[in-house]
Homo-oligomer: A and B are copies of this chain.
Amino acid sequence: MTTTTSRNARGPAEPTAAALAALRPLPSGGATVDGGLWGHRLRVNREASVPEGLGHLREYGNVRNLEIAAGLAEGEATGPVFADSDVHKWLEAAAWEYGRAPDEGLLADILEVTRAVAGAQAPDGYLDSVPQLRGVPRYSDLPWSHEHYCAGHLVQAAVAQSRATGRHELLDVAVRLADHLVETFGDGEGQLREVDGHPVVESALVELYRETGTRAYLDLARWFVEARGTGIIEGHGKQPTYFSDRVRVREATTVEGHAVRAVYLGAGATDVAVETGDHELLAALERQYAAMVDGKQYLTGGLGSRWDGESFGDPHELPNDRAYAETCAAIGGVHWAWRLLLATGDARYADQIERLLLNGFLAGLSLGGTEYFYVNPLRLRTGAHAEEERNPAAGRRPWFGCACCPPNIMRTLSSLEGYLATVTDDALQVHQYAPGTIVADLPAGTLRVRVETEYPHDGRVTLHVEEASGGAGLALRVPGWADGATLDGAPVAAGAYATVGRPLAAGDAVVLELPVVPRLTAADPRVDDARGCVAIERGPLVYALEQADQDAGAVVDDVRIDVARPLGEEERPELLGGVVVVTATGTVQGRPATAAGDGPYRPASETGPAAGGTVTLRAVPYHLWANRGAQAMRVWLPVA
Contacts and interface: CB of A to CB of B under 8 A. Distances in A.
Interface of A: 239, 241, 246-247, 254, 256-257, 287, 289-291, 293-295, 297, 299, 306-308, 313-317, 319-322, 348, 379, 381, 383-390, 519-529, 531-535, 557-558, 563, 589, 591-592, 594, 596-606, 608, 638
B597 A293 contact: yes
Given A314-B381, A322-B306, A528 B525 contact: no
A542 to B, nearest CB: 10
Closest 3 pairs between A and B when the two form their complex, measured CB to CB? A290-B597, A524-B600, A307-B308
A295 B306 CA distance: 21
Given A293-B597, A314-B381, A532-B531, A388 B239 contact: yes
Contacts of A299: 601
A293 B601 CA distance: 10
B597 A521 contact: no
A214 B631 CA distance: 51
A528 B600 contact: no
Contact of A241 (B379, B387, B597): B387
Contact of A522 (B256, B289, B381, B602): B602
29 contacts: A239-B388, A289-B597, A294-B594, A294-B600, A306-B307, A306-B322, A307-B307, A313-B321, A313-B322, A314-B321, A314-B381, A315-B381, A317-B321, A319-B319, A319-B322, A319-B528, A320-B528, A321-B528, A381-B526, A519-B604, A520-B604, A520-B605, A522-B603, A522-B604, A525-B608, A526-B600, A527-B600, A528-B528, A528-B529
A293 B595 CA distance: 11
A291 B596 contact: yes
A599 B297 contact: yes
Contacts of A638: 525, 531
Nearest to A256: B387
Nearest to A346: B597
A599 B596 CA distance: 42
A589 B525 CA distance: 8
A601 B314 contact: no
A264 to B, nearest CB: 18
Nearest to A639: B604
A256 B597 CA distance: 16
A246 B591 CA distance: 30
Contacts of A287: 596
Contacts of A308: 306-308, 322
Contacts of A563: 604
Contact of A600 (B295, B589, B608): B295
A297 to B, nearest CB: 7
Contacts of A379: 528
A57 to B, nearest CB: 23
B521 A601 contact: yes
Contacts of A526: 381, 557-558, 600
A321 B319 CA distance: 10
Contacts of A534: 604
B322 A381 contact: no
Nearest to A533: B531
Contacts of A348: 597
B596 A294 contact: yes
A374 to B, nearest CB: 13
